[in-house]
């Protein structure tokens, strides 16, 4: 007895029905691909062009910012409880990192007995350590790193969403600094400046979500700077709002 097999059923053309369908499916897929190549190429070229402008703008802007000092105001809210804001004078150091000089009076020592003071001091130290880890994490995103952006592009992890008529292009990076994260940069293509930046990332585990929303503004000479950033660390029920103001050339006062 012969086994029923669709491949053995031969059509008048001499080809099996299954193979005929497979061949036509392949031809159709190839035709669709060829027809879409100009569109894919155009989209890829536009993305590469926008990314190149974004990287150049970021590099040049960082060089300009190194000539300034500014006031940073930080407002921390923990579990719905707003802490007193702290002020710092900031400027870039020789190592390229921001150096901060506190301007606010130090917080008063904790009240209560020795045991309570010990608990409060321990919690403050834990929060200080956590904030240090968050700072290290966010330094991988702000300011955006041209090298990381290029690596994401080469890995096919970058997409472009341009809004017609607005002059804004949203460049979306996935797996930018660590697996599963996402960074979206809104870029003003006419002025070649970042207008906003949003990060969705995490600390040690994906469930320890950290989000960052950053708004940019421009100084009179065109230098772009972070006007305000809002950090949310959901696991700790922590929100940190940082506002930068009073920019002036280093040594001007």
For residue range 236-250, list pLDDT tens digits in order.
899 999 999 999 999
Positions of the chain with pLDDT lower than 50, given as ranges: 1-43
Fold of 43-249: outer membrane lipoprotein receptor (LolB), chain A (2.50.20)
Name the average pLDDT for the chain: 80
14-25 pLDDT per residue, tens: 434 444 444 433
SS (H, E, C) the chain: CCCCCHHHCECCCCCEHHHHHHHHHHHHHHHHHHHHHHHHHHHHHHHHHHHHHHHHHHHHHHHHHCCEEEEEEEEEEECCEECCCEEEEEEECCCCCEEEEECCCCCCCCCCCHHHHHHHHHHHHHHHHHHHHHHHHHCCCCCCCHHHHHHHHHCCCEEEEEECCCCEEEEEEECCCCCCCEEEEEEECCCCEEEEEEEEEECCCCCCEEEEEEEEEECCCCCEEEEEEEEEEHHHCEEEEEEEEEEEECCCC
Domain ranges for the chain:
43-249
Q: Tell me what pLDDT residue 135 has.
A: 86
The pLDDT tens digits for 205-234 are 888 999 999 999 999 999 999 999 999 999
């Amino acid at each position: 007895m012969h086994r029923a097999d669709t491949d053995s059923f031969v059509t008048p053309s001499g080809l099996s029905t299954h193979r005929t369908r497979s061949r036509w499916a392949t031809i159709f897929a190839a035709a669709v691909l060829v027809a879409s190549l100009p569109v894919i190429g155009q989209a890829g070229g536009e993305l590469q062009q926008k990314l190149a402008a974004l990287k150049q703008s970021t590099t040049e802007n960082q060089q300009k910012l190194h000539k300034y000092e500014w006031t940073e105001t930080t407002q921390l809210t923990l579990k719905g409880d707003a802490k007193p804001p702290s002020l710092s004078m900031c400027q870039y150091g020789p190592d390229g990192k921001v150096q901060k000089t506190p301007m606010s009076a130090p917080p008063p020592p904790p009240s209560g007995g020795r045991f309570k003071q010990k608990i409060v001091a321990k919690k403050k130290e834990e929060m200080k350590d956590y904030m240090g880890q968050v700072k290290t994490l966010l330094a991988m995103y702000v300011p955006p790193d041209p090298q990381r952006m290029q690596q994401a592009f080469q890995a096919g992890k970058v997409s472009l969403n341009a809004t017609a008529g607005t002059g804004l292009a949203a460049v979306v990076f996935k797996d930018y600094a660590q697996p599963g994260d996402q960074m979206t940069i809104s870029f003003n293509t006419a002025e070649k400046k970042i207008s906003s930046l949003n990060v969705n990332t995490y600390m040690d585990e994906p469930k320890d979500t950290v989000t960052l929303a950053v708004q940019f503004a421009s100084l009179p000479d065109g230098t772009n700077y972070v006007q305000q950033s809002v950090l949310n660390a959901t696991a700790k029920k922590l929100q940190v709002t940082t506002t930068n103001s009073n920019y002036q050339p280093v040594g001007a006062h």
